[in-house]
Structure 1
Amino acid sequence: MTDTGDLVWSGPSGNVANVRMQTFNDEPVLTYWSGEGTAGADAIVSHGWGEVLVYDSSYTLIATVCPQIDLLLPPGVTAKCLADIHEAQMTSRNTMLVTAYNITETDLTSADGPKDGWVLDCLALEVSLTTGEVLWSWSSLNHVPVQGSQQPLSGSGYNTSNPWDYFHINSIQLVGENYLINSRHFWTTYLVNPAGDILWRIEGHTGGDFGDMPEGGTFAWQHDTRLEYLNDEQTSARLHMFANNNAVPGQPNAILTTGLSLDLTLPPNPQTPPTLHTNLTNPLFPVGAWSQGTCSRLSNGDLFMGYGSDAVMMEYAPIAESDTTEGEVIWSAAFGNGDLVSSYRAFKQVWSATPTTDPNLVVLQADATSDALADCAAGSSHRGYVSWNGATDVTGWAVYAGQSENKLLEVGVAECLGYETEYVVPEDAAFVQVGAVKAGDTAVTRRSAVVAVGKS
């Protein structure tokens, strides 16, 4: 959608998530995850097994990320591709970071569970976009013991149908040659080297390796952690995240969700603990999201937040150093009511596209109650409706009309009014057609099919 709420592109139906614009071979692309089901056999909520699809700016499929690894899936579940729903982050080296979840048997007695218990072992993978080869992998179970998880067993962990989601990986970022890995259920973000060793960890309440957390800087159940260095020496960094601070849907005493940014001294030193940079909330529209969500820094310094389980998006302007809690909300949108509709991630990005498909034109007899009748002095009885799914930068529609489908003349240009434009069909036209006019172009970009008036 545009920032004025007009639809731009409506994608495929089914289990699709994590739609965003990224860069591949120095060109903008559209990527999203598509899978066999977000829960597989309805036993494991908020996970999936599927593929990540990469489309160019004509919406042509140019790559498919389908990691082939050895995973144990829930009973009765089959999948041709095994990428999880949570991450699909492209890197500058033409690879993609994806998550995967593997049902694994392990001893859970240290967490007051069964000795022969079952967990979801969370995997971080780096996959080649050109060959599909898994170039790097990391297992949470090999590096993070199960004790200490904030996620209760609650009857899980006893069989492969209901394994314990003890770690819950939901974001990965390439930081230099290392990997930033976020665990929702440990309230912890880890920096891991290529050998798989944990270099440091920051925990939401204790601070982990960084010392005491600042007032207003604690976090829990977080999503979408991202790190940026603040100096060339890489001794100072800022960690952004979507701090859900809640894990139970509909709980009556939900804690406010915040856009949290912490300034870190590197390497970690408890004597110089994290300092709070932002902890953004909107006092006019407080939200306590229990799942999902994003907090991304835009190129102009604004922070853009998609509130996950709550169907809300907000853009905050840069804030003064003296005010870390209430940034100015300069844009907001709601696309549903409460948590009845959700979006795993939301982004504000620049996207320019020309689909390979043709514009779609429909001609219908005008509704007698339509206000559009007043716009036609000639008393035309038909209206044209034109849309072009996925097209951007269209400013107008050249209208062609005539008595023969092979002899059409341009009779005017209708201003593009959002996703679907309605225009008056000339009364004496037997056939009509439209052509897309893009900003800055003198020629028509693409034409629709010719439509017979009264026979659409």
Structure 2
Amino acid sequence: MVEWRTLDDVPVDQTESKLKDGEGTEEEPFDYIHLNSVSVDDDGKSLLVSARNTHAIYQLDRKDADLQWVLGGSASDFEMGEGAAFAWQHDAQRRDDGKITLFDNHAAPRLGDSRGLRLDVDEEAKRATVDTEYPAPDDRSSGSQGNFQELDNGNVFIGWGSEPYFSEFTNDGKLLYDATFTGGSNYRAYRFDWQATPSAPPTATKSEPGEGITRVHMSWNGATEVAAWRILSGDSEEQLTETAVVDREGFETAADVTPTGSRIVVEALDENKEAIGSTTVE
């Protein structure tokens, strides 16, 4: 375990936060630095620590927490190139190509539009420049939270923190989509492949569109592995035979069949045609 006492390396006067009435006491301490992310650097021997209230990222030795450099803020060891300065940021990460990414809130108070930011950090020349930025699609300012996710295909997924949005960009900054949810905030938003088999069984109902024809409606809310549906029919459980197999079509699949008995059962099949769930048609 490593412990870093920030006051040993970061004086209080480097904060960008304003002292509010009543703060600065034992009962109401002043959060002058506000650490919000810690990640292992690419050398495996260092940590990258993001401090929102000093507008800075700190590299620390992973064993003894010695401060190695400061990126950004009023005590930066790096010259910040045009557009490279960030503020009130979150989620600082070193990427495989050596770049450093972060979510640049640039608020609050608002200093500019929020954005995802990829920086080229030259540790020898002590200069940081903008590699790519991922700007908000509109006049959007995230006063807190937010994150930057790099996807396996190189695309970038941005969670907009206190603003109820998430966006995906190409690696070079082209917006692919921008989506919202009903409200609230998201500290971080991520995109992952999702697989699920619900504990509840599938749902199936029937209707009679014509004489001798039964239309079976099949769905399984939350199931991701359904590739097809098998319909079985007969007069009893022991007499069930395969009546039809149909490919899954969206959330609900409908199929017209001529059942061979009064009992109808449907099975959800995976891509290998193995049954992963079943239910009796009501």
Q: TM-score range by the shorter chain?
A: 0.7 to 0.9
* Partner Cα separation in structure 2 for residue 407 and residue 167 of structure 1: 72
Q: Which residue in the other structure is 1:198 paired with? A: 67
Task: State the match for 1:315 in structure 2.
Answer: 168
Q: 1:201 to 1:406 in 2, by over 3 A?
A: farther
Separation in 1, partners of 2:14, 2:130? 25
- Corresponding residue to 1:262 among 119, 122, 126: 119
1:294 corresponding residue in structure 2: 147
Equivalent residues in 2 for 1:270-419, closer than 5 Å: 270=126, 273-283=127-137, 285-319=138-172, 327-336=173-182, 340-351=183-194, 353=195, 355=197, 358=199, 360-364=201-205, 376-378=209-211, 384-387=217-220, 389=222, 391-418=223-250
Return the letter of the residue paired with 1:294: N
What is the CA-CA distance between 1:316 and the residue it aligns to? Answer: 1.7
Deviations 1:146-180 (A, max 9, x none): 332222232334354x5433322222211212111
Spell out the pairing of 1:30-429 with structure 2 (5 A cutoff): 135-141=1-7, 143-154=9-20, 155-160=22-27, 162-175=28-41, 176-193=44-61, 194-204=63-73, 206=74, 208-211=76-79, 213-228=80-95, 230=97, 237-247=98-108, 255-267=112-124, 269-270=125-126, 273-283=127-137, 285-319=138-172, 327-336=173-182, 340-351=183-194, 353=195, 355=197, 358=199, 360-364=201-205, 376-378=209-211, 384-387=217-220, 389=222, 391-418=223-250, 420-423=251-254
Give the drift of 1:399: 2.7
| Whole-angstrom distance in 2 between the partners of 1:361 and 1:395 | 13
Give the Cα separation in 1 of the matches to 2:108 and 2:71. 19
Residue 12 of structure 2 aligns to a residue whose secondary structure is coil
SS in 2 for 1:209: coil
Amino acid of the structure 2 residue aligned with 1:181? V
CA distance in 2, matches of 1:296, 1:146: 31
Q: Decide whether the 8 Å contact of 1:296 with 1:303 is kept in 2.
A: yes
Please tell me the residue identity of whatever aligns with 2:184: V
Classify 1:138/1:291 alpha carbon distance in 2 versus 1 (closer, same or farther; 3 Å). same
The alpha-carbon distance between structure 1 residues 365 and 350, as it changes in their structure 2 partners (threshold 3 A), is closer
State which drifts further: 138-147 or 166-175: 138-147
| Cα separation, 2, equivalents of 1:169 and 1:412 | 59
Structure 1 residues 225-279: Cα deviation after superposition (integer angstroms, max 9, x where no partner):
111364xxxxxx311111011126xxxx673111111111124x45xx2111112
Residue aligning to 1:447? 277
Amino acid at match of 1:153: L
Q: Which amino acid aligns with 2:66?
A: D
CA–CA distance in structure 1, aligned partners of residues 242 and 7 of structure 2? 67
Query: CA 1:359/1:198 → structure 2, altered by over 3 Å: closer, same or farther?
Result: same
Larger Rg, first or second structure (1 or 2) = 2
Identity of aligned residues (%): 27
Q: Secondary structure, in 3 states, of the residue corresponding to 1:299?
A: coil
Contact 1:361 1:387 in 2 (8 A): yes
- Deviation digits for residues 23-69 of structure 1, max 9, x if unmatched? xxxxxxxxxxxxxxxxxxxxxxxxxxxxxxxxxxxxxxxxxxxxxxx
In the superposition, the TM-score normalised over structure 1's length comes to 0.53
Per the alignment, residue 121 of structure 1 pairs with none
* Deviation, structure 1 residue 317: 1.8
Q: Distance in 2 between matches of 1:408 and 1:158?
A: 76
Which of the numbers 433, 443, 455 marks the counterpart of 2:265? 433
Structure 2 CA distance for partners of 1:293 and 1:425, relative to 1, 3 Å: farther
Distance 2:160 2:191 in 1: 13
Compute the TM-score of the two structures, normalised by the length of structure 2: 0.81
C-alpha spacing 1:313/1:413, structure 2 compared with 1 (3 Å): farther
